[in-house]
Amino acid sequence: MLSPRISWSHPRRGTENRSGGCLCGGVRFEVTGSPLWVAYCHCASCRRHTASPVSCYAGFEPSRVRFLTATPATCKLSPGVARSFCNRCGTPLTYESKRFPGEIHFFTGTFDEAEQLEPNRHVFWHDRQRGFEVHDPLSRYGRNSSRHGARSRSTGCSLYAREIRLEAFWRRPR
């Protein structure tokens, strides 16, 4: 069942520092301060990009992010959207979109202490992989998920449409 209201503030705001990186260590980064939000994303694009049933992201302000080694490679499959990854080991690292200029979304699994980034919602719940069961008490957001964990309440319908188009692209016979 989808939750009717969204509480956008993350409960753990503070001033901590975090570090992380890819599997091979070729890309390392540091982030200052707490995340804007932490969320599971069930969208079809993230599922394909990570080859996993669900992704988990933490959103940070770009000014608080510093890459200590090589900057990651990026792939741009949708207008205004960039997904970054290590071009040596392939680890997916971040998601950025022109629609959300004040945010960079990091996969929580890339952090050295990933368990400290505790998700507080599921987004794109309507798009989840069938048969993948989730029994936690967190809120679920569907077509109104305007991003991986938005603070605004815009409907996000165009983003949803983009995800559907991308899914159709992958399903096209070739």
Residues that bind Zn ion (CB under 5 A): 22, 24, 26, 41, 43, 46, 86, 88-89
- Between residues 31 and 46, which has the closer beta carbon with respect to Zn ion? 46
Instruction: State in angstroms the smallest separation of the CB of 41 from Zn ion.
Output: 3
Query: How far, in Å, CA of 133 to CA of 130, rounded?
Result: 8
Q: Dmax over Cα atoms in the chain, in whole Å? A: 49
State the nearest-atom distance from the C-beta of 109 to Zn ion, in Å: 13
**Which of 112, 17, 128, 107 minimizes the C-alpha distance to 65?**
17
Compare residues 43 and 104 and give the one whose CB is closer to Zn ion. Answer: 43
Nearer to Zn ion, 10 or 162 (CB): 162
Which is closer to Zn ion, CB of 8 or CB of 16?
8
CB 15 to Zn ion: min, Å: 28
Q: How far is the CB of 27 from Zn ion (least distance, A)?
A: 6
SS3 per-residue string spanning 67-133: ECCCCCEEECCCCCEEEEECCCCCCEEEEEECCCCCCEEEEHHHECCHHHCCCCEEECHHHCCCCCC
In this structure, how many other beta carbons lie within 10 angstroms of the beta carbon of residue 30? 14
SS3 (DSSP) at 14:
coil
Nearer to Zn ion, 46 or 166 (CB): 46
Smallest gap from residue 46 Cβ to Zn ion (A): 3
